[in-house]
Amino acid sequence: MAYSIIETCVNCWACEPLCPSKAIFEDRPHFRIDAKKCTECEGEFADPQCASICPIEGAILNGLAENANPPGSLTGIPPERMQAAMAEIQAR
Amino acid sequence: MELTVLGQDASEQAGGCSSGSCGSSGDQMSHLPDEIRKKVENHPCYSEEAHHHFARMHVAVAPACNIQCHYCNRKYDCANESRPGVVSELLNPDQAVKKVMAVAANIPQMTVLGIAGPGDPLANPERTFDTFQQLTEKAPDIKLCVSTNGLALPAQVEELSKHNIDHVTITINCVDPEIGAKIYPWVFWNNRRIKGKKGAKILIRQQQKGLEMLVAKGILVKVNSVMIPGVNDEHLKEVSRVVKEKGAFLHNVMPLIAEAEHGTFYGVMGQRGPTHDELQVLQDDCSGDMNMMRHCRQCRADAVGLLGEDRGDEFTMDKIEDMDIDYEAAMVARAEVHAQIEKEREAKRNAPSQAFVALADLQQSGKKTRPVLMAVATSGGGVVNQHFGHATEFLIYEASPEDVRFISHRKVELYCSGGDTCGDAETALQKNIRTLEGCEAVLCSKIGYEPWGLLEEAGIQPNGEHAMEPIEDAVAAVYKEMADGGLLDEPRQVVAATA
C-alpha cells in the first residue's frame, strides 16, 4: 500500500525531505510518490509524514485512496462555509 | 521637540528635529550600542527615515511551512495580491542569487535582501542558507535578513549566527496558548501534526526560546504581530511588554488582512481587520518605551523596490536571464549612490528645521490647537513630490503644537492611469477619498481640478504649495497656517463622506 499526491498539490516541498523512504520526488505538474518505495512510514513514524505536514486538504490520498486530510480538517473552515463563500464570490 | 515613532538616526538627538529624520527620537535609539545603530540606519524595514531612501527585496526560495496560521492560505501563487506569503515565482537558491545581483545592479538604493517565504524560511534551511552563503560571497555589500514563525528557530540559531545575518524577524501573535489556539490550527512538531492549544503552546515556547537565544548572540530581533480584533488585540500589549523585556528591539503591530477571496480561515469566516484608528490606538498603547514600527507595508515574499512600490515585474527569471551583470562595477556604482544619499541625509540633519521653527512659533502664541491628521503623496526621498492622482499610497502624519509624527500609510487604488481606463475614474477616486477619512489636509506636488473639488467636499483641504519640500516641514507649515487661520480652535466638525 502507498500514499499518493494528487493535482491539488501546490509544490511547497514540505513533504519531500521528511519521507523516510525517499519515495517523494519533484515532478510536473506536481510532486509525486513512488508507490514502490512508499512504506506508509510503517515502523518509522507513528503518523505518515507527508500527510502530517501537507497544508493542502485533499492533496494526499492514503493507501485506500481516501483523502488523508479531508476538507476542513487543516484550515478549520467548515466545508459548507467555504462553499457558500466561494459561491458568493463567483456571483459578484 | 520630541518625536515619538521609531527611532533610527544615531546622530539625531531629541530637540531640533530636522526634516527627513522626524519620526525618530534620540532616546529610542540612544539605548542601542553604536554598532547596532550602524546596522539599522540604512535598513528600510527598520528605520522609518531610511525607508524614504533605501530599497529592499525578498527572494521566494522558502516554500515549505511547518505551521498553519488562520490568516494564511498556502495556495500562495498569485500575481495580483500584495500581502505576505504571496509570490508569483518560486526560485531555487541559484536563481535567487542571480536575481539579487540583477536587482542590486539596477536599483542601487537596494540595501537589504530578506528571505520571508512564501512558507517559513527556517522550515527550508537548506534552500535558505544556501542562498545566504552564496550572497555573502558574491554580494558582500548587501545586508541579509530572515523572518520566521519561530517554531524551528532554536534549532537554527547556531547556523544563523554563522552567516552574515544582522536581523531576524519573528512573528509573535500571542504568549497565551488559549489565544494561540484561535490563531494557529496546527503545528508540525517532532514528526506529528499537533492541533489546537497543545500546538500553540509548543510554538509559543519555541518563539520565546528563539528570541532569547538570538538576543544572547547579539543578533537584532524585530517582532511582528498581526492585530486580530477580538482575538489578540488587547493581548498584544502583553506581547509587546514580554518581547521588549527579552530584548527585541522593535515591535511591528500590523493589521490583519482578511478577505473571503483570499480563502483564509479569517477571510472566509468573516473575521474583520482593525480600522486605521484601532490600529493606531493599539500601536500607541504598545509603544511605551519601546520602538514601534509604523511604516511596514506587509509586502509580498517576492517584493522588490522601495517599501511603497513593487518592481518585481521587472525582474522575473526570464528577464533576468537576458541581463548581463557586472557586479564589481555595480558595487562601485552602488557605493557612490549610497554616499550621495548619505550626503543628502546629513545635509538635512544639519539644516535648521523649518518644522521646528513653525511649531515653536505656534507654541509661543500660547494658543491651544487640536492635533490634525494629514496625508502626504511622496514617491521617496522624504519630500512631498507626487501627483495626487499618481499616488498608490499616502503617508499619514499627525501634526500638533508639540510635534509632527509619522502615523501610518494607507494604500489607495490608482485612479489616474492617463489612458482609456478613465471610465472608472470617479468611483476609484471617491473610494480613495474615503480612504483618507480622518485627514484634514492632503499634501501633494500637484492635483487635478476634479479631485480638488471632491476632497474639499469631504472636508479634506488639498495642498500643492509645498512640492519638493521635506515632508515634516511641509506638514508643520500647513498646520501653522490652519492654526493661524483659526481652524483648529474647536474640535473637528465631522463631514459626511461623499462617496
**B244 in the same domain as B107:** yes
Q: What pLDDT score does B34 carry?
A: 73
What per-residue confidence (pLDDT) applies to B107? 85
The ipTM estimated for the assembled molecules is 0.96
- Rounded (5°) CA angle A52-A56-A59: 85
Q: Determine the distance in angstroms separating the CA of B235 from the nearest CA of chain A, rounded to an integer.
A: 23
CB A47 to CB B191 under 8 A?
A: yes
Of A12, A45, A89, Cβ closest to residue B260: A89
List the single residue in B64, B68, B126 with the smallest CB-CB distance to A75: B68
**Full domain range(s) for residue A53:** 1-92
DSSP H helical ranges for B45-152: 93-106, 125-138
Q: Which residue has the cell 511622496?
A: B378
Q: Above 70 in pLDDT, residue B232?
A: yes
- Neighbour tally for B66: CB within 10 Å: 22
What pLDDT, on the 0 to 100 scale, is given for residue B191? 96
Cell numbers linked to B485: 487661520
User: Residue B480 has which C-alpha cell?
Assistant: 501653522
> B274: domain CATH number?
3.20.20.70
- Across chain B, mean pLDDT equals 82
- Assess whether B317 and B360 both reside in one domain: no
User: Considering only alpha carbons, which residue of chain B is nearest residue A53?
Assistant: B188
User: Is B74's CB within 8 Å of A12's CB?
Assistant: yes
The answer to whether B22 and B472 are in contact (CB under 8 A) is yes
Q: Is the per-residue pLDDT at B301 higher than 80?
A: no
Reported as a single tens digit per residue, the pLDDT across B199-214 is 999 999 999 999 999 9
Of B186, B259, B262, which to mutate for an interface test with A (greatest number of A Cβ within 10 Å)?
B186
Nearest residue, CB atoms, A85 vs list B75, B127, B268: B268
Indicate whether B100 belongs to any domain. Answer: yes
Size of interface A-B (CB pairs under 8 A): 68
Confidence of residue B29 (pLDDT cuts 50, 70, 90): low
A47 Cα to chain B: minimum distance (Å): 7
pLDDT, mean over chain A: 93
Cβ atoms < 10 Å from Cβ of B443: 30
Say which range, A44-58, B82-96, B308-322, B421-435, has the weakest mean pLDDT.
B421-435
Sign of the C-alpha dihedral, residues B402, B404, B406, B412? positive
Domain CATH code at residue A33: 3.30.70.20
* Residue B58 · residue B124 · CB < 8 Å: no
DSSP calls for B265-311:
HHHHHTPPPPPHHHHHHHHHHHHTTS-B--------TT-EESTT---
Whether residue B249 is found in the same domain as residue B389 = no
- Minimal Cβ distance to A12: which of B64, B260, B267: B64
| Percent of chain B residues topping a pLDDT of 70 | 83
The structural domain count of chain B equals 2
What's the whole-number mean pLDDT along residues B311-319?
Answer: 81
Averaged pLDDT, B365-385:
86
pLDDT digits (tens, 9 = 90+) for B112-132: 899 987 899 999 999 999 999
The reply to whether residue B260 touches residue A56, judged by beta carbons under 8 angstroms, is no
Three cell numbers, residue A17: 525531505
CATH number for position B403: 3.30.420.130
Single-letter code of the amino acid located at B466: H
pLDDT computed for residue B122 by the predictor: 96
Q: Among all chains, which residue has been given the C-alpha cell 540559531?
A: B157
**B127: closest chain A residue by CA:** A13
Cβ neighbours for B341, distance < 8 A, ≥ 6 positions apart: B53, B54, B109
Cell numbers for B45, please give them: 524595514
- d(CA B365, CA B325) in angstroms, rounded, equals 59
Cell of B187: 503545528
* pLDDT above 90 for B450: no
Cell numbers placing B194 = 499537533
Q: Can you read off the three cell numbers belonging to residue B35?
A: 554598532
Structural domain count of chain A = 1
Contact B166, B219 (CB under 8 A): yes
| B210 lies in the same domain as B359 | no
Q: Is A13 close to B124, i.e. CB distance below 8 A?
A: yes
Alpha carbon distance B12, B28 (integer Å):
10
Q: Which amino acid would we find at residue B107? A: I
> With an 8 Å Cβ cutoff, are A12 and B65 in contact?
yes
Mark whether B63 and B186 lie in a shared domain.
yes
Give CA–CA dist B310/B195, Å, rounded: 36
Rounded Cα distance, B2 and B22, in Å:
9
Question: Kind and range of the H or E element at B372?
Answer: strand B372-376
Q: How distant is the alpha carbon of residue B147 from its chain centre?
A: 14
Which cell numbers hold the place of B378? 511622496
* In a shared domain, residues B237 and B363: no
What totals of helices (H) and strands (E) does chain B contain, helices first?
16, 15
Chain B residues within 8 A of A82 when measuring between CB atoms:
263, 268
C-beta atoms surrounding B218 within 10 Å: 11
Residue A12 touches partner B, C-beta closer than 8 Å: yes
* Cβ-defined contact of B124 to A52 (cutoff 8 Å): no
Listed in sequence order, the residues at least 6 apart from B50 whose beta carbon sits closer than 8 Å to its beta carbon are B8, B40, B41, B42, B43, B44
CB atoms closer than 10 angstroms to residue B493: 6
B308 and B428 share one domain? no
Per-residue confidence at B256, pLDDT binned at 50, 70, 90? very high
B191: nearest CB among A49, A75, A88: A49
pLDDT 10s digits, B127-177: 999 999 999 999 888 889 999 999 999 999 999 988 878 889 999 999 999
Torsion of CA B141, B147, B150, B154, to 10 degrees: -10
Q: Which of B274, B304, B321 is the last residue of a domain?
A: B321
pLDDT band at residue A21 using 50, 70 and 90 as cut-offs: very high
Q: Does B162 touch chain A (CB under 8 A)?
A: no
Euclidean distance between CA atoms B59 and B61, whole angstroms: 6
Q: Do B192 and A82 touch (CB under 8 A)?
A: no
What is the nearest CA distance from A36 to chain B, expressed in angstroms?
Answer: 23
Residue B182 lies inside a defined structural domain of this protein: yes
Q: How far apart are CA B437 and CA A82, in angstroms?
A: 33
Identify the band that residue B355 occupies on the pLDDT scale cut at 50, 70 and 90. confident
Beta strand pairing status for B220-227 and B250-255?
Answer: parallel
B269, B303, B321: which is the final residue of a domain? Answer: B321
Exposure on the CB side of residue B193, measured as CA atoms within 13 A: 23
Q: Which domain holds residue B276?
A: 32-321
In angstroms, the CA B398 to CA B475 distance is 8
A38-46, long-range: CB < 8 A, 24+ apart: A38/A1, A38/A2, A38/A3, A40/A1, A40/A2, A40/A3, A44/A20, A45/A20, A45/B191, A46/B191, A46/B192
Distance from CA of A23 to the nearest CA of B (A): 17
The residue among B303, B321, B339 that closes a domain is: B321
Q: Would an 8 Å CB–CB cutoff place B195 in contact with chain A?
A: no
CA B171 to chain centre: 14
**CB of B91 within 8 Å of any CB in chain A?**
no
Helix H or strand E encompassing B111: strand B110-115
In which band, very low, low, confident or very high, does the pLDDT at B455 lie, cut at 50, 70 and 90? very high
User: Mean pLDDT over residues B412-429, rounded?
Assistant: 59
B9-13, B178-182, B314-318, B467-471: which has the minimum mean pLDDT? B9-13
Q: What is the CA radius of gyration of chain B?
A: 22
**Is B313 in the same domain as B377?**
no
Residue A90 has pLDDT above 60, yes or no: yes
Of B64, B70, B192, the CB nearest to A13: B64
| Cβ within 8 Å of residue A41, ≥6 positions away | A20, A21, A47, A48, A49
Contact A11 B186 (CB under 8 A): no
